[in-house]
Chains A and B, each alone.
Chain A
């Protein structure tokens, strides 16, 4: 009997070994494996984080470089004039007036309506300039017609209407808001200047263009400008070209040309009336930075060179202003 008991115990010892091995494997699977998985995941995350830190450090360095170069960047005034922070309709009006002078057309009316486009927060309100329902009209016989006063931002520091149109920079401290008394392209006449309270907004597509490929959460304001000019075929073509290369970037949205008179004296063009609706843009300075945008900017070659070149070409692009021959001015389609 005793011998049998001993034998049983020896048998149990033999079973204990495989049992404990199985228990060890079970523990490994149930407890150690999840920890190992966690360790691997954490290790991977740490490696990724370290890589990201390296990238962020490089970005920070690049941003510091860009920050230093921006203040001395030659193109900065050009870009800020092309899309200023404020609406500054009066400045555009001044520029258009300069173009009117140079092309020789007669400005019959000028009106504005502004709106807001974009999807960033804080940009949903219609700007105060547009809400002004005041209307200013200037008689053709007025000796010194004043600038449109619909905007509360019109100030003595507004630029001169006769400012050089070839200049890309529009100094905010340009003097004299008064109209010029003479101009190279003939004396322009303002027959009516009005500002309506029409509010309109048009959507500007969100962009992902540019070398940096920055995605924009922009708050671009669109200001609608309507004007009405009279002039000959050549003058009107010249004027249209001038409106395309203003230092403030404009986009003609609608145009119509109608003949005013059809008298066809030799060498004289019949007068045409052009109604143009265009949009100019402004973009208030944003108070926050989109990290993705910064990442793209710092990760690329810095400021988009393609965009800079496009703007430069649009403003300073070569253009032959001598409409002496039909080759350059085309055929007057109304004659």
Chain B
């Protein structure tokens, strides 16, 4: 048995209406559409570029105006304010330090000099006895401006006639200036309130 299938189009049916004219019209339409879209965006680009240039010029002008001599004084004043603020905030309150430090010196202890270095305060003093020296070192450890206290030497001083015997000592105090400043400013704030 042979199956007979007719693969050819029936002669009565119309072929798709794809004529040369319609293809040409479609192509022209497509071309116009593409060019129009491109043109539209190109126009937008040109518009925004122009606007960008204009606004940039305005910004430049405004900046020039702001940098003009009219405002130099203001900027200078603010600069001064900031610099002074920085200096005052960071300067070490020596007066308060000495006053506070003196409270940590025992009444019977006498210092020979006070010459603090950058972070170290060498202590050279005399006390009536060894016990006083130990108490003094212990007391200095409690001072807020102290990081550590190192007792260097202790020796009995030669007493002159009519004078009491005393003990001389040397110690080194490592300063904690930041901590002292912190405590000092918080104390000042408390006192101010």
- Interface residues, chain A, CB within 8 Å of chain B? 9-10, 13-14, 16-17, 20-21, 24, 27-28, 31-32, 35-36, 38-39, 42-43, 45-46, 49-50, 52-53, 56-57, 59-60, 63, 66-67, 70, 76, 79-80, 82-83, 204-205, 207-210, 212, 214, 216, 218, 220, 237, 240-241, 244, 249, 251-252, 255-259, 281, 283, 285-291, 293-294, 297-298, 303-304, 306-308, 310-311, 314, 318, 329-335
Question: Which of the four size classes fits the interface of chain B?
Answer: 35 or more
Which residues of chain B from 39 to 72 have any CB-CB distance to chain A below 8 Å in the complex? 41-42, 44-45, 48-49, 51-52, 55-56, 58-59, 62-63, 65-68, 70-72
Question: In whole angstroms, what is the CA distance A107 to B112 when docked?
Answer: 22
A240 pairs with B98, CB closer than 8 A: yes
Q: B residues within 8 A CB of A209?
A: 82, 85-86, 89
Q: Which of B18, B67, B92, B101 contacts A294 (CB 8 A)?
A: B67
Closest to A9 in B: B20
Q: Which of A38, A218, A285 contacts B83 (CB 8 A)?
A: A218
Q: Which of B48, B71, B82 contacts A67 (CB 8 A)?
A: B71
B88 pairs with A67, CB closer than 8 A: no
Residues of A contacting B: mostly: helix
B78 pairs with A297, CB closer than 8 A: yes
B55 pairs with A297, CB closer than 8 A: no
Closest to B80 in A: A83
A289 pairs with B72, CB closer than 8 A: yes
Question: In whole angstroms, what is the CA distance A331 to B125 when docked?
Answer: 15
B115 an interface residue at 8 Å Cβ cutoff?
Answer: yes
Smallest CB-CB A-B distances: 4 pairs: A42-B48, A49-B55, A330-B102, A307-B85
- Shortest distance in angstroms between A174's beta carbon and chain B's nearest beta carbon? 21
- B95-112 CB mask vs A (1 if < 8 Å, else 0) is 100111111010100111
Question: In whole angstroms, what is the CA distance A80 to B77 when docked?
Answer: 8
Question: In whole angstroms, what is the CA distance A5 to B78 when docked?
Answer: 89
Give me 19 other A-B pairs in contact (C-beta within 8 A), A35-B45, A257-B113, A330-B99 excluded: A14-B18, A39-B44, A60-B65, A63-B71, A205-B90, A210-B78, A249-B87, A251-B92, A255-B114, A281-B84, A281-B87, A286-B76, A289-B68, A294-B67, A304-B85, A307-B81, A311-B88, A333-B110, A334-B110
B95 pairs with A241, CB closer than 8 A: yes
A32 pairs with B41, CB closer than 8 A: yes
Question: In whole angstroms, what is the CA distance A301 to B64 when docked?
Answer: 22
Q: Which of A36, A70, A204, A294 contacts B86 (CB 8 A)?
A: A204
Closest to A32 in B: B38
- Shortest distance in angstroms between B119's beta carbon and chain A's nearest beta carbon? 13
Question: In whole angstroms, what is the CA distance A46 to B44 when docked?
Answer: 12
Can you give 18 contacting A-B residue pairs, CB < 8 Å? Answer: A13-B20, A28-B37, A35-B38, A36-B41, A45-B48, A46-B51, A53-B58, A56-B63, A79-B84, A210-B82, A237-B99, A244-B91, A255-B114, A286-B79, A291-B66, A298-B66, A307-B85, A333-B114
Question: In whole angstroms, what is the CA distance A32 to B76 when docked?
Answer: 52
Closest to A118 in B: B83
- Shortest distance in angstroms between A38's beta carbon and chain B's nearest beta carbon? 5
Q: A residues within 8 A CB of B99?
A: 237, 329-330
B73 an interface residue at 8 Å Cβ cutoff?
Answer: yes
A240 pairs with B79, CB closer than 8 A: no
Stretch of B26-34, B127-135, B144-152, B170-178 on the interface side: B26-34
Q: B residues within 8 A CB of A255?
A: 94, 114-116
Q: A residues within 8 A CB of B98?
A: 237, 240, 257, 330
Question: In whole angstroms, what is the CA distance A36 to B38 when docked?
Answer: 9
B5 an interface residue at 8 Å Cβ cutoff?
Answer: no
Question: In whole angstroms, what is the CA distance A329 to B59 when docked?
Answer: 60
The listed residue with most A CB atoms (<10 A of its CB), out of B19, B30, B56, B75, is B75
Question: In whole angstroms, what is the CA distance A179 to B129 when docked?
Answer: 49
Given contacts A205-B86, A241-B95, contact A67 B55 (CB under 8 A): no
The listed residue with most A CB atoms (<10 A of its CB), out of B52, B86, B192, is B86
Question: In whole angstroms, what is the CA distance A98 to B181 when docked?
Answer: 28
